[in-house]
Amino acid sequence: MTDVVLIDWGGGNIGSVRYALDRLGARAVLSADADTIANAPRVILPGVGAAAPAMQRLHELDLVQTIRTLEAPLLGICLGMQLLYESTEEGDVEGLGVLEGRIARIVAQPGVRVPHMGWNRLRRVRPSPLLDGIADGEWAYFVHGFAAPLGVDTLASSEYGGAFAAVVGRGRRFGAQFHPERSAATGQRLLANFLAMEAA
């Protein structure tokens, strides 16, 4: 029996996410099939790359409406999280729109190189089962040049040239801007928490 389906649109980190799930003993399936994704108990949208080709690929695979109407818990990772929003400054692209807001470019300034690459602290904003066992101030690994602003869906923030949303959630839709598959115990705990959520 499958625990989670990873949307196989070609995102660069899909192999490492699957390996992280394997280490947790999860039964993960890679799929680009709309029916498989629609009927999955939980779904992860991984992503490394640029927003425009990613959304184009999701349209080509006819997965946009499938993702928008999922009843199962959904977790977007890195670019996958950004695609959950209504739009992004990266290529002025329309996103999936399951979270409100627009992804903005991180502005380079003295001491702030773009992309943001490396370890940074998480600051808890509000409680969520996704963050159970993850203390305020724990470290996570980031690689990104765009970010979500703080908003009503922010579960945890981080700081890099200004505060941004590091973990978000609304209902059964969640996102992690950092890479849980590269974030040691913090990332493993977040993935384990997601896998523990009640299936569709």
Cis peptide before 115 (omega within 30 of 0): yes
Quickly state the pLDDT bin for 13 (edges 50, 70, 90).
Answer: confident
Answer yes or no: is pLDDT of 98 > 90. yes
Quickly state the pLDDT bin for 157 (edges 50, 70, 90).
Answer: very high
186 phi and psi angles, rounded to 5 deg: -60, -45
116 is annotated as an active-site residue: no
| Gap between the Cα atoms of 107 and 115, Å rounded | 9
| Angle at CA of residue 50, ends 49 and 52, nearest 5° | 145
Overall residue count recorded for the chain in this entry: 200
Mean pLDDT of the chain: 96
In whole angstroms, how far apart are CA 105 and each of 17, 82, 145, 151?
Answer: 25, 11, 6, 16
Residue 119: alpha-carbon gap to chain centroid: 17
181 is annotated as an active-site residue: yes
Contact 78, 47 (CB under 8 A): yes
CA 128, 81, 190, 32 torsion: positive or negative? positive
- Averaged pLDDT, 2-28: 92
- The candidate with the shortest Cα–Cα distance to 4, out of 45, 47, 41, is 41
Catalytic residue among 60, 159, 181, 198: 181
Catalytic residue among 94, 144, 179, 198: 179
Contact 89, 146 (CB under 8 A): yes
| Gap between the Cα atoms of 49 and 79, Å rounded | 7
Quickly state the pLDDT bin for 152 (edges 50, 70, 90).
Answer: very high
90 is annotated as an active-site residue: no
List of domains in the chain: 4-195 (3.40.50.880)
Catalytic residue among 71, 78, 89, 94: 78
CA 85, 46, 25, 29 torsion: positive or negative? positive
